[in-house]
Structure 1
Amino acid sequence: MKVLIVGNGGREHALAWKLGMSPKVTKVFVAPGNAGTAIDATNVNIPVSDKAAIVKFAQDNEIALAVVGPEAPLVDGLVDDLENAGILTFGPSAAAAELEGSKVFCKNMLHTANIPTANYRAFRGGDDAMRYIKERYPEPGESAYVVVKADGLAAGKGVIVCSTNTEAFDAIQRICGDREFGDAGNELVIEERLIGQEASVLAITDGETIITLPAAQDHKPAYDGDKGPNTGGMGAYCPTPLIDEDMMQRVEEDVLVPIVHAMKRARRPFKGVLYAGLMMTAAGPKVLEFNVRFGDPECQPLLMRLKSDLFDILCAAARGRLSEIDSLEWDERPSLCVVMASEGYPGSYESGRKITGLDAADAIDDVKVFHAGTKMENGNVVNAGGRVLGVTAMGDSISLAKLQAYKAVKEIRWPGAWCRKDISDKAR
């Protein structure tokens, strides 16, 4: 059977690689893909925004399962279009994807479902938001531990963590005044800044049954020690000691089950990957956000460990028959992903720089280099995005997985390449 994956990031490369291992899958297409998916699958030159062309390709090629990777086409309703055309598709409808597409909607759903989260206020414009900060923190330069979030999709960059009212004013100006994140800033959320470590719990659901995946820990700030601006994620490891069995049960009971039920009651039944971004506070886990797809880079270490047939799992979820799936099998060894990025990311960066050492890195035991922002140019692999590669490794312990991953990182070179050096250090 043939599979179509929509997207061109590290997540989509990992999905193509793992789905290609299924004995039931004869061919994997990726639209539009990258230089890595061109090796492990077949690229199709269709942008993720061209819904009509994607649907036509799926029909013409008798696709047995379509998997929509990124958030933008999910929010834009690509799953609805594929399903209306008779294509079995894994992913949420546009109505369900609003859980990620609108932070205001998400916070309101959390409140409705009585799910623990930070206190918040939503605003439709910058003037009211500025007035709110001035009223609560009137003194010049006063401490203001808040987080200002653009409402819509901003590629992981629309969340600004503030420590003073000056920083909060600046964040509101960037979102509403400067329109740094475009229409994503039509509304914004200001919420209390929670203290603790972050963890990611992903679950696959068909709207009734929920299969929770091992917890991971993402590293969103750009630089070592969680310094610098937020990014789409600079690395992740799995599992994380932050979430033991008892805590996982608490997350399932207090977060995952309530939101699935709440979405069903709201007539937005959720099918696909439900990603809970959690802050592990002294009062227990609180939801920072929900994503409606596999995380990138969390997907890479998760799928490295998965031993069950991913094709069977995703098909069952798409058909509403997830209850028929056996318990998932996992490699007991932990895994770790280090994101290598372009010079200047998460700001502006230059593309087209030749990447070397990929074969040497992939040849290291228990290592897989997943491509994200890459493309082929004149026979060479070059960088074509901010986050370029997800160097992923396994080991008998988290520290050994880290050792293997960074050993592979050292083999890879291009002008300006960089990465965080402390992925997984929080696990100590």
Structure 2
Amino acid sequence: MFTLIRNKSFFSKVLFVSAFLFMGCERDKDQESINIVITTKISFISETTAIGGGRIDNDGKGVVISRGICWDTVPLPTIQNIKTVDGYGDGSFISELKYLSPNTDYHVRAYASNAEGTTYGEEVTFKTNGSDLPIVQTAPLSLVTSTTGKSGGTIVFEGKGGVTARGVCWSVNPLPTIADQKTNNGMGIGSFSSTIVGLHSDSTYYVRAYATNNVGTAYGNSVYLKPLKSTIKDIDGNVYTTVAIGTQVWTVENLNVTKYKNGDPIEKIQDKSLWNNTETGAYCNYDNDVSNSNIYGKLYNWYAASDERNIAPEGWHVATYDEYLVLIDYLGGPWEAAEKMNNGSFKALPGGKRNRDGIFFDKGSLPYFWTATEYHEGSAWARYLLLDEGELNIINLSKNYGFSIRCIRD
């Protein structure tokens, strides 16, 4: 079962298949269909961060498709306030509260959403610590090239005295300081942007925002920076263009490899019956015609996509369900992401699919992408983009379907 989100102003229709459903209803419920939600006590409290979480007891009350915590400075927060999304299903989970204000009281509730709505746990409260030093947050990296990158930060609290210097610093060491390379991006509270230069593509760097007042210098969180190599190769020698989208780096072309990273061959299956009955990794060319793979890459079953020998190039992996959620969020949510992934730098190539009965469909019309995330023993999460009216859909399918694969950098 899946839900469609339509935007008729789009000239292209992008339908993502995955197991995530975008909820249209959010409400407290007392009916028998609700889940039992427990909010855990807040711990590891600092000036701007804390750790929370919860536990979901499903008890057969409907599949939990989204869970996390929400918080605000007033009682009874909901998912309309600031929230985390910490996966799906029942069981315990841990959440990180970020971007808090020092010396401030907060109210927190765990939540669980299913097809019937959203259920909340009991509210817990806590207070953040105070500080004399500034409080600064490091901005995510973007526009990373082989020699440069963009970052910055936000001064959310000046401490004692005004902020007299702010910027980012970077180094090959995990905790860079202003004694390393740095920018100087003005003074005072608020957000700023920084350009990082002088990088080498064979090195790994770490970036932190900093802020200095008359008490001393404070630092934001450390962000991992790997300069971009514009192309990569798989074990067969196929070359893929790469692109940075937010904090992630993706391949622009669909995977076209015939071996796992260790050199073991991936089985090629053309026969319809064999394709339907296999429970090991396999690939095929669309219509069993290798010329189609030159444009759209190969089609793989989920067993190949998830094999521990890794089907992706060195330093890369098949994107997971959660990594696609990060991409969708960065692109502005389901409506905007659908159009941008079709027409933007992701370049969703419509390689079509092979059904589990071995029949081919939709080449040149629809791109389908496996994720590396299993739903249950018989199915896994997939995403496919329908190129027509701006729709975004999410579902789980049999592991014997043949879909394209996009890789993401480790």
For Structure 1 versus Structure 2, the TM-score category normalised by the shorter chain is under 0.3
Calculate the TM-score normalised by the size of structure 1. 0.26
**Bigger RCO of structures 1 and 2 (CA < 8 A, at least 6 apart):** 2
Question: When you count strand as a share of all residues, which structure comes out higher?
Answer: 2
Question: When you count helix as a share of all residues, which structure comes out higher?
Answer: 1
Larger radius of gyration: 2
Calculate the TM-score normalised by the size of structure 2. 0.27
